[in-house]
């Protein structure tokens, strides 16, 4: 009987870690998406200085989060997002608005993929 309780305890711990990972991923991804959306909004309003600020915020947040994300996620996707986000940031710093908008849209799509791949649907589990 003690073994059964031990197994149940391990299952609860592992399940808790998985739930925490999903919640954390969704929180960080939503936060980064919000910063990118604000940057896009300011680019569309021709307020490049504010767009630069929010683009830098999103890159800083990603750099904070990527090491934790590497524990749970595929490294290639993390590197792709980092590269695309860095390129978008460089484009806005150089005031290349159209290139920034293209790269920002790519980042948003990549972040949506991360969000959807981390939620445990049957397709993701099997």
Gap between the Cα atoms of 104 and 115, Å rounded? 16
Gap between the Cα atoms of 15 and 42, Å rounded? 41
The stretch 44-59 carries a mean pLDDT of 91
Task: Report the chain's mean pLDDT, rounded to a whole number.
Answer: 86
Yes or no: say if 120 and 18 are a contact pair by the CB < 8 Å rule.
yes
Q: Report residue 63 as tokens.
A: 């750099």
The stretch 64-76 carries a mean pLDDT of 79
Does the pLDDT at position 41 exceed 80? Answer: yes
Q: How confident is the model at residue 84 (pLDDT cuts 50, 70, 90)?
A: very high
Q: How confident is the model at residue 98 (pLDDT cuts 50, 70, 90)?
A: very high
Does the pLDDT at position 1 exceed 90? Answer: no
The stretch 39-47 carries a mean pLDDT of 92
**DSSP letters of 9-48?**
HHHHHHHHHHHHHHHHHHHHHHHHHHHHHHHHHHHHTT-H
Does the pLDDT at position 103 exceed 90? Answer: yes
Does the pLDDT at position 126 exceed 60? Answer: no
Does the pLDDT at position 125 exceed 70? Answer: no
Does the pLDDT at position 124 exceed 80? Answer: no
What residue has token string 């307020």? 47
Q: For the chain, list the domains and their CATH numbers.
A: 22-117 (1.20.120)
């Amino acid at each position: 009987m003690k073994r059964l309780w031990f197994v149940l305890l391990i299952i609860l711990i592992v399940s808790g870690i998985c739930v925490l990972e999903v919640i954390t991923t969704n929180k960080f991804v939503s936060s980064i998406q919000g910063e990118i959306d604000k940057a896009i909004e300011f680019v569309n309003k021709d307020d490049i200085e504010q767009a630069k600020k929010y683009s830098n915020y999103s890159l800083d947040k990603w750099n904070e989060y990527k090491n934790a994300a590497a524990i749970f996620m595929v490294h290639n996707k993390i590197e792709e997002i980092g590269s695309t986000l860095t390129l978008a940031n460089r484009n806005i710093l150089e005031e290349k608005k159209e290139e920034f908008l293209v790269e920002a849209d790519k980042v948003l799509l990549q972040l949506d993929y991360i969000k959807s791949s981390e939620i445990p649907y049957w397709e993701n589990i099997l």
